[in-house]
Structure 1
Amino acid sequence: MNQPTALRLPIIDMHCDLLVYLSDVPGADMSKVEDIGCAAPALTEGNVKLQVMAIYSPTEVGSTRYAALQRDMFRQLTDSDNSLTAVGSAAQLQEAIQQPAKTGMVVAIENASGICEQSDELEEGFKRLEKIIETCGRVLYISLTHHNENRFGGGNNSTKGITRDGRMLLDYLHGRRIAIDMSHTSDALAVDILNHIDQERLDIPVIASHSNFRPIWHHERNLPDEITQEIILRKGLIGMNFLRKFVHTEDPDALLHHIQYGLANGAEDAICFGADYFYFADEKDKTRFPFYYKEHEQAGSSYSYLLERLHELLSPEQLQKLAYKNAQHFIERIWS
């Protein structure tokens, strides 16, 4: 029997932590699918044509050194003869989508503590951001925070809004063609970011690179409706996260429900994938296992599984938008 066309659509995924794994885990191997769901063979098997590689840092002393290791790892992957290739222009993105057995990649910054620690001068942070751009070619998006608060504002586990430094970083991003990511903001910070962009008339795209919908599963990492609607209004992206903790702790089909909820609430041109694959074998909190449902645990099969499940529910155009077209159009628009 022939497989539905949906199963072999190109895929663009907006978030993974492969750079953290390769930089930080002893014996890390980009071909070890058993270690991380976005290992290079899984990306190829899953027909992933662009994978956004997060440069993640915790908010602590040494965060900028940690980010620099990942910056240099991206460059090392770029210079190596392997299945990954850097994408830094709309033309290169189009080429990556059409090229067989290759995955394009571009970096993003997950937590601005990776460019500026708590005690640094803000100007040093701007210089580190420029160094990442110089080394990696592009930065697709940046999040001000991670789970906790930092000098820029409040993360998911906080109620704090934006700070003076957060506003200054937004001002710096004006017109730079780098999106601001809402996936790790407190609700208060998300609102403050949007208000500052509007008040100062800043040219900054907004996205949620790896977040689901809070009405489907109530978790602070998932988007409340008001933020969802702002991202849609501003022609941003919302990347569906595959982590069980953010999908539903008992129902793997809830990921399908998140996608359908987004489509039913105006996100047809915004919804995409942001699987959030990372290395977790050293996790000490056993209550977090399994991190992913088996259906969603690695890129080689998860996207095709989801598209197959949705094949009878969505139109071919909706499937294409989810798989890659929404992300492609967004990236081409902000890079042009």
Structure 2
Amino acid sequence: MQTPATLPIIDLHCDLLVYLTDVPGAMQDNIDEIGCALPSLTQGNVKLQVMAIYCPTKAGSTVYSKKQSEAYKLLAEADNCLTPVKNIQELQQALKADTTGMVAAIENASGFCEEDEPLEDGFKKLEKIIEDTGQLLYISMTHSLANRFGGGNATTQGITRDGKMLLDYMHGRRIAIDMSHTSDALAFDILEHIDKEKLDVPVIASHSNFRALWQHERNLPDELVQEIIRRQGLIGVNFLRSFLNTDNPDAILDHIAYGFANGAENNICFGADYFYTADEKDASRLPFYFPDLLHAGVSYSYILNRLRERLNVNQLEQLAYRNALQFVERIWAGI
């Protein structure tokens, strides 16, 4: 029987690519600057790390994302601890290997389509990102604000015509739609369009917690939680203090226990959301992470060990890797 510290880990979200392309002097092994530095991933036994391609919605957004997809390609080709995962066979191999598997995702569809360019041109850029990375696990339409596809989590706007066309484009492509940065209105509009058009588009929330425990626009309302569960999606628990409870270091344990107690036993996983924080000017957001969640080398084993008081061995395995593994295997197999 594996102990929590030795369980393989699958994590749905980190911002290593943004750090490497946006921060002067950034290094992939700098554990002092980002919680998902490569030595931390190795120490934390992370066997699959989703690398987000993120950009803000503004002029030049696609140039910003292109740098990140190229950075992903360079990481995949470099002599390091990372191995790209593009299919089920490589995914299964990654779970047993001494290295960390990685797969790309898009956080904000502005990354492949500027606000003022033809949508068809945006889809061509999306195809180029897929070519550079070899595989995408998910796409998020928005970030915090609104764009041509719909409303971000800091808005009340729903889906647009282009957002519906993006969902139509994703039909059958074995790429999930991510709801971690949607407004509530956009999230439910996405589900309505999928159902109305009978689209084959899996749904996830890659790095979100539960609003019933902590009132924040980035956390999921119960109705959306139940829809993700009903559709056999994933909910990746976010490690950021502001989305857990700004005063309670044990809040992450409460969020995970809440998921298990409310039907998400087969859906909950990790979505740590490690990013570069040293340039933050808003002191009220500091610290971003509680001490035991500072980096991947310590956080997962800490959480799993603490949860032994609340969850059984099978549930710990589900959280650590099995739920995410089964989801990825299922959508990539087209089941």
Q: TM-score range by the shorter chain?
A: over 0.9
Q: Could you tell me how far 1:7 is from its partner in structure 2?
A: 1.6
Q: CA deviation at 1:6?
A: 1.4
SS at match of 2:322: helix
1:42-191 to structure 2, matched below 5 A, reads 42-100=40-98, 102-191=99-188
Q: How far apart in 2 are the matches of 1:284 and 1:310?
A: 34
Please give the alpha-carbon distance, in whole angstroms, between the structure 1 residues aligned to 2:332 and 2:303.
29
Q: TM-score, normalised by structure 2?
A: 0.99
Q: CA RMSD in A?
A: 0.9
SS in 1 for 2:309: coil
Q: Which runs of 5+ in 1 are unaligned?
A: none
Distance 1:262 1:120 in 2: 41
Question: Tell me, which stretches of 5 or more residues in structure 2 are unaligned?
Answer: none
AA at the equivalent of 1:318 = Q
Mapped to 2, the partners of 1:226 and 1:327 lie a distance apart of 21
Counterpart amino acid of residue 79 in structure 2: D
Trace 1:288-299 onto structure 2 (pairs within 5 A). 288-299=285-296
2-structure distance, mates of 1:317, 1:198:
33
Amino acid at match of 1:164: R
What residue in structure 1 maps to residue 221 of structure 2?
Answer: 224
Which residues in structure 2 correspond to 1:215-254 (within 5 Å)?
Answer: 215-254=212-251
Partner of 1:262: 259
Match of 2:193 among 193, 196, 201: 196
Amino acid at match of 1:204: V
Contact 1:154/1:189 (<8 A) preserved: yes
> Aligned residues: percent identity?
65
Q: Which amino acid aligns with 2:90?
A: Q
Return the alpha-carbon distance in structure 1 between the equivalents of residues 121 and 192 of structure 2: 26
Alpha-carbon distance in 2 for matches of 1:32, 1:80: 16
Give how far 1:133 is off: 0.8
State the Cα deviation string for residues 136-179 of structure 1 (Å, max 9, x = none): 10010000000000000000100000000000000000000000
Runs of 4 or more above 6 Å deviation:
none
Letter in 2 for 1:313: R
Instruction: Quote how far apart the aligned CAs of 1:229 are.
Output: 0.2
Query: Which residue pairs with 1:213 in the alignment?
Result: 210
The Cα of 1:286 is off from its aligned counterpart by 1.3
CA contact (8 A) 1:4 1:308 kept: no
Structure 1 residue 4: Cα displacement? 7.1
Which one is further off, 280-289 or 106-115? 280-289
- Letter in structure 1 aligned against 2:242: K
What's the offset of the Cα at 1:298?
0.3
TM-score by length of 1: 0.98
Report the equivalent of 1:302.
299
**AA paired with 1:70?**
Q
